[in-house]
Structure 1
Amino acid sequence: MRRIFQLVLSFLFLFQIQSVIASDDIYSFYYNGDSDFILRFNASLKAYARNRGTEIEFFDAKNSSSMQLNQIYSSISSKDSLIINLVDPKMASEIIYHAKSYGNRIVFFNRRPSDEVLKKYGSAWYVGTNSSAAGRYQFELIHDYLNEIKGVDRNKDGVLNIVILQGEIDHTDTKGRTEQIKKMLDESKIKYSIVSENYDNWEASAAFEDVKAQVSKVGIKNIDMIIANNDSMAVGAVDYLNTIGYNLGREYKDKSKYIPVFGVDGIPKATEYINQDKMTGTVFADFTALAKVCVDISLDDSTDDAELTRKLWYKVTDRNVSIPFVKYASFKKYAKRSR
């Protein structure tokens, strides 16, 4: 009888250990594992999680909403923490409904659910960047460039002729970044004209073809600037310009064959192009900080904004954490902003 009692105690002890371990399990779900942004974020996430003594299991939805839902439903169990980059922000409500019964902590990042959806569950957060802030920082780069560099008005018509390369049509970052750029251009009294503002879905190849089409339509001399909602599209624009002898880098002496190109994200290819003077500038959130906050929230047990703010060193407001931007450019040195 005593032996049986010891076995029962041992079983209960092991069960408690397993329950604790399960509560520290983290699963990360990505909309597209091939995205330059996700590749950089994932590297930071893995490194920081290991420093915290935990491993993360990763899932790639390959841009499929149904695949992502299946991955989430089939992978999680009680008390697991979920870090989710949504394929479609509209899926957040269904994910939260499912997670409530398991008591999962959820950290959405990069693609933001609505405030209404986040309020439905006290253990759900959003960590990312403010879409309008990205547009504001991007405009600051553009404003500095216009103040420092002469001859941007290539056809001398007194108007800044701009090609805008937009992300996905229904994405909040697309809307926020584009609208903020236009708002600040209007407020600055800069005379400008939008040559085109097509949706290139964050993709370099789509941006390549878009810029090619605009050059064919209006002529290269009637394009003064290219503003992209992300760096992949900015890189695609530069790649096309290179094919017609533009933006070839600092070793080429004909500076008249240069169109300023601005992006968002700070992906390696973009910073490489900026260092080579092929691309003009980008703004980006600190990937290390973004990963750190996602993991720290996942492993914590608090749901209080003030308490998490003290622990994270980033302000938490209504379960939203905004990671600040850094500016990076070829024409001017910018000091990294402290948080």
Structure 2
Amino acid sequence: MKKLVSVLLAAGLVASMTACGGGDKKESAAAPAETTAAAAETTKADEKETEKVTEAVTEAAKDLADAGEISVLYYTYGDTYISSVRSALDAALDKAGIKYQDYDSNNSQTTQTEQVSTAIAKGTSLLVVNLVDSGSDDAAKNIIELAKAQSIPVIFFNRSVSEEVVSAYDKAVFVGTDYEMAGHMQGEMIGEYLVENYDTVDLNGDGQISYVMFKGQEGNAEAIARTQFGQEDADKVLEAAGKKPLAFYDASNTNKYLVDQGGLWSAAAATEYMQTILSQYSEANNNMVELVIANNDEMAIGSVTALQNAGYNKEGATVIPVFGVDATDAAKDAIAAGTMTGTIKQDAEGMANTIAQITANYLTSAETFEGVDAANVVGTWRVNIPYAMYTGEE
């Protein structure tokens, strides 16, 4: 019988088969003998099949336990979304009985590459890598070369790695998102909100919405796409409704974004930027920023902090709409409180469970994407975890 690679899935099969295998095993006193005999044979068959599945579960669990420790490398523990992935992945690996060691690369590619070498020297069975430097292929190529030399599988996740790099090694995959989609969805959500609330948002009544864009990191594919499409797609919705396109608050800034120079997509960076902006751009000066677009929820929350310090986004006060990406717990709370307007859900638990499933597949020599939703699989190299809009109304 084909080996079951997902211990959790197989265990679920055992439970369901036990529950429905023979129905109520008590026989009616009036039941014909042949009916009773047939029911008994069915029950025996079900019990034998349950035993087979149980053996397969035990075998798969033993394979995972004997596979040795895997290594999970995070670009930083300090990122709120990544922390949620880490918590979910730790739980999924624990539940599957997979031994693992987590590493904090502290936003240093040099540190992460050294950690990879250390993990390989310790005999790691598999590498799960949240790449630090996604601005070029060099870091990912280097990790692939180190792993390939020892025939160690690699699962990159969250921070983009090119198809060329991943496909060059038959034991490598990428688990992430269609990052352009986050920008498109955010832009659509912003545009629709503005059309419905235009006069309220247009504080100075000039017929155009002034905005600030917080970009997480230069060279990062996700940040680039969100920065572009969050604004462009909002403009498309506005123009279709006969409204003017968005206007970046600072006409002298040709980039039309502010970047976290530390590359951490941090709340602190957004708070600092926003406080500086509000010292010059205000309702009193008739040039107030009327919309905040952030590439992630941390920067969105940081901007909310600065706005609240200036008297906005509080109960009974004027609310400047703020949009982010990730749907972190803090962002959901802010949306529920009315201090933040919307976000795009990036499914941390879905990403973690997919990584855990592929890990189990590699460790038990199953098909790479067995147990993964086929609708999310791209070719032979990638899985995209779907996004969803979140405004607190779901």
* Fold agreement, TM-score > 0.5: yes
Pick closer, same or farther for the CA change 1:280–1:20 going to 2, 3 Å.
Answer: closer
- Which secondary structure state, in structure 2, belongs to the residue aligned with residue 76 of structure 1? helix
Q: Does 1:313 align with 2:373?
A: yes
Structure 2: gaps spanning 5 or more residues: 1-61, 250-255
Is 2:273 the partner of 1:225? no
Deviation at 1:308, TM superposition (A): 4.8
2:211 aligned residue:
162
* 1:19-75, Cα deviation, whole Å (9 max, x unpaired): 975635321001111211121111100111122122321000111111111111011
Secondary structure at the counterpart of residue 170 of structure 1 = coil
Q: Distance in 1 between matches of 2:148 and 2:330?
A: 40
Partner of 2:109: 65
1:268 matched residue in structure 2: 329
Would you say how many aligned residue pairs link Structure 1 and Structure 2?
309
How many Å separate the matches in 1 of 2:63 and 2:355? 22
Instruction: After TM superposition, give the deviation of residue 152 of structure 1 in Å.
Output: 1.2
Kept in 2, the 8 Å contact 1:128–1:322? The answer is yes
8 Å Cα contact 1:46/1:55 also seen in 2: no
Task: Tell me, yes or no, if structure 1 residue 35 matches structure 2 residue 96.
Answer: no
* Match runs of 1:183-222 below 5 Å: 183-188=232-237, 189=239, 190=243, 191-195=245-249, 196-200=256-260, 201=263, 202-220=265-283, 221-222=287-288
The answer to whether the aligner puts 1:53 opposite 2:114 as a matched pair is no
**Deviation for aligned residue 1:135:** 0.7
Indicate the RMSD between aligned Cα atoms, in angstroms: 2.4
Q: Where does residue 15 of structure 1 map in the other structure?
A: none
Cα displacement (A) at 1:145:
1.5
Partner AA of 1:169 in structure 2: E
Letter in 1 for 2:358: I
In proportion to residue count, which structure has more strand?
Answer: 1
Say whether residues 1:323 and 2:385 are aligned partners.
yes
Q: Structure 1 counterpart of 2:131, which letter? A: L
Q: Give 1:144's aligned residue.
A: 192
Please give the alpha-carbon distance, in whole angstroms, between the structure 1 residues aligned to 2:294 and 2:103: 28
| Letter paired with 2:234 | L
- Given the superposition, is the C-alpha separation of residues 239 and 79 from structure 1 closer, same or farther in structure 2, using an over 3 Å criterion? closer
**TM-score computed with the length of structure 1 as normaliser:** 0.85
Q: Deviations over 1:75-115 (max 9, x none)?
A: 12667111111111241000001100111111111111122
Is contact 1:308-1:316 (8 Å) kept?
no
Q: Assess if the C-alpha contact under 8 Å between 1:137 and 1:283 holds in 2.
A: yes
Structure 1 unaligned spans of 5+: 1-17, 335-339
Large movers: runs of 4+ above 3 Å: 18-24, 301-305, 307-310
Q: TM-score, normalised by structure 2?
A: 0.73
Q: Which residue of 2 aligns with 1:102?
A: 150
Q: 1:61 to 1:302 in 2, by over 3 A?
A: closer
Q: Take 2:368 and 2:143, find their aligned partners in 1: how far apart are those partners?
A: 23
Give 1:292 shift: 0.7
The answer as to 2:288 corresponding to 1:234 is no
State the 1:127 CA deviation: 0.8
Indicate conservation of the 8 Å contact 2:64/2:97, yes or no. no
In the other structure, the counterpart of 1:180 is 229
3-state DSSP of counterpart to 2:362: coil
Amino acid at match of 1:230: N
Q: Which amino acid aligns with 1:198?
A: L
SS at 2:324's partner residue? strand
Determine the structure 1 residue equivalent to 2:27.
Answer: none
Is the partner of 1:125 in helix, strand or coil? Answer: strand
Distance 1:185 1:38 in 2: 27
**In structure 1, distance between residues paired with 2:363 and 2:196:** 48
Structure-2 change in CA distance of 1:237 and 1:182 (3 Å) = same
The one-letter code of the counterpart of 1:225 is L
Compared with structure 1, are the counterparts of its residues 204 and 309 closer, same or farther at alpha carbon in structure 2 (3 Å cutoff)? same
Partners of 1:85 and 1:109 within 8 A in 2: yes
